[in-house]
Amino acid sequence: MTTPASSQNTKRAAVRKALDSHKVYVSAQRFSGGSYQARVLVDGEAYWVDEFRLSQLRQGLTPAELELTPAADD
């Protein structure tokens, strides 16, 4: 049986997790020769990533964990 207190703790944990995760914004996309690249902004830094890395970022991995290098200013 779920108590009101445990239900509230579960809800608070979900909110905490959402607030702790970083936001990923796609600022540009390019398609060339059958490959896809996206320029993304994560925590104020821009990166060029492929489709696989983009999905990993959206799942919560950080650029440091993926060993991404910030994009050069265009």
Over residues 1-12, the pLDDT tens digits come to 678 888 888 888
Q: Is residue 28 part of a domain?
A: yes
Residue 22, pLDDT above cutoff 70: yes
| pTM greater than 0.85 | no
Q: Is residue 34 part of a domain?
A: yes
pLDDT for the residue numbered 73: 73
Who contacts 11 (Cβ-Cβ below 8 Å, separation ≥6)? none
Q: Is residue 12 part of a domain?
A: no
Q: Which pLDDT band holds residue 72 (cuts at 50, 70, 90)? A: confident
Number of domains in the chain: 1
Q: Is residue 73 part of a domain?
A: yes
Q: Is residue 36 part of a domain?
A: yes
**27 lies in which domain range?**
22-74
pLDDT for the residue numbered 28: 95
Q: Is residue 64 part of a domain?
A: yes
